[in-house]
Amino acid sequence: MRANNSLQNRRPRFSVAIQTPAYQRLVNDTLGDPDRARRFVAAITSAVSVNPALQECDAGTVLSAALQGEALNLSPSPQLGQYYLVPYWDKKRGCSVAQFQVGYKGYIQLAERSGQYLDIDAFPVVEGEYKGRDRYTRRPVLEFLEDDGERENRPVVGYYAYFELTNGFRKVLYWSKSQMLSHADRYSQAFHLDSVESADPNKSRVSFADFEAGNFPKEDAWKYSSFWYKDFDAMAGKTMLRQLISKWGITSIDIQKALASDGAVISRDGTPDYLDTPDDEPVTLQEGEKGVPTEADASVGGGGARERAELSPQAEAELSGLCDDEGPVAGVGYADAEESPEELPDGAF
């Protein structure tokens, strides 16, 4: 117990680690602009400071994820919803880590920025709007309610996403809510559609239906910190856009990087370590293409790639964030990396 406490005390929080010379040098070398580096440090420190669970994460994973977002020129502000740093308890590492997650607004930003998309969106479909499928094309037939007040009071029955390219190509995708629930249950390690019984109270969960009804002890709220619990519709919209863009859209280098790193802990060598299993095969950039996501990717804002800055062995030993086995941190989900299973049927046309 004393050894664990000693390790915990030696593991610097992000607010401390980011001020050390090694981390400051890494950020400055990566971004290449002192003013931009200062803005980045201020923005990410502010985002981390409002999340106690994120403050407990390994500082290196927080910085790697934040630099990935900066490389995509996305904002860490939770209010903008472009990308998130999500704390998870990683059993394999024995510590909490920060996972990089692109929000659905982030995918829309990247698509619009590519100049290839004339229109793109995703949104929930409420009861009474879905009219079935066209008997010849099997495209979903929707009839949207004009009264927004009435629409807000109706239950969500499905999710719809579409895009139109500048060359006139269009694609639409519709999933029922039951299909989305099955997808979340299958691919997210932190989400459980049915209740989970365990001898360890930290691992037990109520069903999603009970969670929505508020039938769980309030002191257990930290167990349901996944965005699939906190904002199911937003995660569903992101999933629809990810499925649509990755299979039928034009993927710029930035979109490929986002698809490859979404839902992963970014390691120091740039490889994504998936805690939640990705809902499709990770995107691999073709040989010769710059922009493979790394902890210090400097193709920031399309300004060209720079050589990745490396921490010295001494700096890594000092700042890697010593992990221990003292158990989960409140507000941190449980996750283990697994092989990506096959995908669910698409329903796209």
- The residues with which 98 forms a beta bridge, in sequence order, are 87
Stretch 43-62: mean pLDDT? 86
pLDDT number for residue 313: 41
Is residue 241 over pLDDT 80?
A: yes
236: left (phi over 0), alpha (psi -120 to 50) or beta: alpha
Among candidate residues 69, 68, 8, 76, the one with its CA nearest the CA of residue 48: 76
In the chain, what are the domain boundaries?
1-100+265-340, 192-225
Contact 68, 261 (CB under 8 A): yes
In whole angstroms, give the CA distance from residue 105 to residue 97. Answer: 24
Stretch 133-144: mean pLDDT? 93
| DSSP 8-class letter at 268 | T
| Per-residue pLDDT reduced to its tens digit, 180-196 | 999 999 988 889 999 99
Stretch 193-220: mean pLDDT? 93
pLDDT number for residue 276: 56
pLDDT: is 283 or 239 the higher one?
Answer: 239
Most confident region among 4-8, 12-16, 24-28, 254-258 by mean pLDDT: 254-258
DSSP, collapsed to helix, strand or coil, labels residue 265 as: strand
| Per-residue pLDDT reduced to its tens digit, 268-321 | 666 777 765 555 443 333 333 333 333 223 222 333 333 333 333 443 444 344
pLDDT number for residue 274: 73
In whole angstroms, give the CA distance from residue 5 to residue 81. Answer: 36
Contact 285, 272 (CB under 8 A): no
Among candidate residues 32, 90, 24, the one with its CA nearest the CA of residue 267: 90
**In this structure, how many other beta carbons lie within 10 angstroms of the beta carbon of residue 296?**
23
Is residue 56 over pLDDT 80?
A: yes
DSSP, collapsed to helix, strand or coil, labels residue 109 as: helix
